[in-house]
């Protein structure tokens, strides 16, 4: 008899939107892989420290340092570098040194990613599509990074060009709604009404919605009604 509940598929990862804003992220290495990792964590507003001899920096990492986007420690890794780290990203071509970093992180309970060594990773970097607030990650759980890139491009090709802009407007409307319906008891009703807006309005109308339209739309919240943009502007 088929179950009405989702089937469990073991062997996956728990994919989360990890908030590292304002946290200290340590990057060990300064090559191409390190450069990609740095972009990811800078986009998440982390404080980034790169430990690598200057001779090992590629052009992109050197640019981040010169622009003051990251802090640079000009020497090989030392265990004391972990003292203030909330996350460690290791990208060096030295398996023994990488394993040492991972073991030190495990002992200190610091989440770590050791590039190209899946068994020594507490988390993986997937292939990410970014459009403003919209982020979509494709992960192969360490099996095939190139395949993740291919799948991510296919997914991105199927998305509307204005998806990110529409999400920005939805976020603004949601914040305004919280000012109208402030109590915790209103939570379920807020969520249900916002879902109706997202389902009823096309992306083009969400993008075109201005502050005046939002105020008029919010006037229909108490009745749980969701008129169209044309109806709001006609009224």
pLDDT at 39 over 80: yes
Task: List Cβ neighbours of 101 (8 Å cut-off, separation of 6 or more).
Answer: 28, 77, 88, 90, 112, 114
What is the reported pLDDT for 3?
78
Q: What is each CA distance from 82 to 44, 51, 87, 108, in whole angstroms?
A: 20, 11, 9, 9
Tell me the pLDDT of the chain averaged across its residues: 94
* Residues 188, 170: Cα–Cα separation, whole Å: 17
**pLDDT (mean) for 218-224:** 94
134-138 and 112-114 beta bridge pairing:
unpaired
What is the reported pLDDT for 143?
86
What is the reported pLDDT for 12?
87
Of the candidates 116, 137, 147, the one whose C-alpha atom is nearest the C-alpha of residue 15 is 137
Kindly report, residue by residue over 7-23, the tens digit of the pLDDT. Answer: 888 988 888 889 999 99
Range list of β-strands (E), the chain: 24-28, 47-51, 71-73, 87-90, 112-114, 127-131, 134-138
* Residues 192, 216: Cα–Cα separation, whole Å: 18
8 Å CB contact between 111 and 88:
yes
**116 flagged as catalytic:** yes
Under the banding of pLDDT at 50, 70 and 90, the label for residue 4 is confident
What is the reported pLDDT for 141?
85
Positive or negative, the Cα torsion across 227, 229, 234, 235?
positive
* Residues 180, 189: Cα–Cα separation, whole Å: 12
C-alpha neighbours within 13 Å on the C-beta side of residue 45: 4
Kindly report, residue by residue over 104-163, the tens digit of the pLDDT. Answer: 999 999 999 999 898 999 998 889 999 999 999 999 887 888 899 999 999 999 988 889
* Residues 101, 82: Cα–Cα separation, whole Å: 9
Kindly report, residue by residue over 52-93, the tens digit of the pLDDT. Answer: 999 999 999 999 999 999 999 999 999 999 999 999 999 999
What is the reported pLDDT for 115?
93
8 Å CB contact between 58 and 65:
no
**pLDDT (mean) for 25-53:** 97
pTM (two decimals): 0.80
Give me the catalytic one of 83, 84, 93, 116: 116
* Residues 119, 98: Cα–Cα separation, whole Å: 12
Kindly report, residue by residue over 168-210, the tens digit of the pLDDT. Answer: 999 999 999 999 899 989 999 999 999 999 999 999 999 999 9
Distance of CA 129 to the CA centre of its chain: 10
What is the reported pLDDT for 2?
66
Superfamily of domain 24-125: NAD(P)-binding Rossmann-like Domain (3.40.50.720)
The tokens of 223 are what?
């009745």
What is the reported pLDDT for 187?
93
What is the reported pLDDT for 1?
57
């Amino acid at each position: 008899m088929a179950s009405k509940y989702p089937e469990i598929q073991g062997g996956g990862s728990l994919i989360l939107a990890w908030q590292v804003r304002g946290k200290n992220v340590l990057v060990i290495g300064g090559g191409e892989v390190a450069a990609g990792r740095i972009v990811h964590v800078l986009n998440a507003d982390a404080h980034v420290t790169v430990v690598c001899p200057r001779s090992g920096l590629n052009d992109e990492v050197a640019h981040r340092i010169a622009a003051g986007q990251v802090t640079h420690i000009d020497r090989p890794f030392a265990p004391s570098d972990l003292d203030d780290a909330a996350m460690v990203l290791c990208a060096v071509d030295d398996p023994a040194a990488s394993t040492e970093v991972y073991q030190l992180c495990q002992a200190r309970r610091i989440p770590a990613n050791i590039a190209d060594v899946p068994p020594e990773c507490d988390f993986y970097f997937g292939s990410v599509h970014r459009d403003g607030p919209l982020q979509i990650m494709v992960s192969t759980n360490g099996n095939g990074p190139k395949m993740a890139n291919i799948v991510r491009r296919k997914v991105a090709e199927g998305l509307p060009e204005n998806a990110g802009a529409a999400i920005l407007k939805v976020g603004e409307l949601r914040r305004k709604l919280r000012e109208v319906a402030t109590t915790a008891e209103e939570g379920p009703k807020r969520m249900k009404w916002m879902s109706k807006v997202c389902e009823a309005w096309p992306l083009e109308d969400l993008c075109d919605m201005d502050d005046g339209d939002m105020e008029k739309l919010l006037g229909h919240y108490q009745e749980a009604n969701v008129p169209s943009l044309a109806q709001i502007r006609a009224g």
